Structure 1
Amino acid sequence: MARPLFPLPDIPGIPVRGETATYPIGRIFCVGRNYAAHAAEMGVEVDREAPFYFTKSAANAVLSGTVASYPPGTEDYHHEMELAVAVGRQLFQADRAEAGRAVFGYGCALDMTRRDLQIRERKKQRPWDLGKDVENGAVFGPLTPAADWQPRGDTAIRLSVNGEERQAATLSELVWTIDEILAHLSGFYHLRPGDLILTGTPAGVGPVRPGDRLRGVVDGLDPVELMLGEPA
């Protein structure tokens, strides 16, 4: 086998509760506008015909506890707290029952967003990549296996900045449920272990600045934490 011309940076594996091995990060799919109140605060409506998605690069993923520089090119960097779903088996053109059985585990995650760039590109009907696929912009807390934790409608999801609560909702507010998302997405991709789905963010997103400490929780899961440093 030919050797590569140069090494690439390592992609971190996500810690798993009760395991010494980590969950490798493959692809990251994100569900857009999956809480109606968040869609409303963004000035848009939920598309109830089907979920829609954008992606983030695995190379831009970091783990909870990271100190990340404030990114270049933005003056409006936003937090978005999400429940992450980790795929544990092959899944293609699945129904909801099969999709539900394919979950390896769940975790807390942050979808950090250059909001000014996202909105600018949205107005021009262009892709959101500059706004969404940000270096250090996909932050993952430890995973809990599906055998040990299951989402419920009354499960709370929250985010605080410097101890002040910014986002608060329950999983009952998800427009598309986890099994619906996985079944739908499996109609377009051969899903496999290593795939992660960020299921959407509640209302209350807002800007953060260098020095801010973010902490996101979903009841029963390990939290996700991030500190913003000065621009690099």
Structure 2
Amino acid sequence: MKIIKICNRVSLFSLINLSKVILYNFKLFGMFTNELIDYTSQKNFITNKRKLAEPGRLSLGRKRIYDISLTMDEIEDLNNILHCEALCLNDLVSSFIIFLSRGNHPTCYDVFIREKVRKRVELSVPGYPEFRTQNMESRLTEQMHEIIKTIPFNRDGICYVYEFLKLEIDESAEILYFASTQKTEEQKNVVLNNLPNMRALLTEKLLSNNIIVNDDMVTEAVLRVRRRVKDILDFHEHKLSRARAHNN
């Protein structure tokens, strides 16, 4: 009987100790698990921090898109050049009308055009390159030749062709703005090389203003529009290139 009681006490004592051991092991396991979670979180944080500090591989493979479109201030500067050419045209037409009123015919007008253009350029666009001034002279000489071919060569005939030439200048302003706002070189070239579209725009202007001229005059005007706009844009690009070279 005593032996049974002793065994029962031993069993109870062993059970209590076993419970304590199991409970202690559970606590150790919990502590180990928490430490493992903390270690994993800390390792992930360090890894992510390194990834953020390092340049991403994907970004290195992407091509940077360069926007070549001009600012409104830059476009305004280019419009000033176009406005100068329009003023030259106005000066020349006014002079032709004065010649006509005096009974004269402008036979040798190359020197006269050159002098008019240079005075106006010096006043409106100081520092404009010599060869681009010559390009402007060439376009204006072509326009004056269209006026001199007018039959009959009188005030009304001159004014009629002048209205046509003003529409050419107006279209140049539109194409210049449209080309200047393109974001890529390819898009800009598409605008500058789309001669059929330029011709359609000019034809629409002529119809709206009840002006009738022959096809050759329209063709020559469209080609001048393209040359004029390209010349002005090339001037701007050359000016930017010189500024970059100076800064470097």
TM-score (norm 1): 0.25
Structure (1 or 2) with the greater helix fraction: 2
Larger radius of gyration: 2
The structure, 1 or 2, with the larger RCO (C-alpha pairs under 8 Å, 6+ apart) is 1
TM-score (norm 2): 0.24
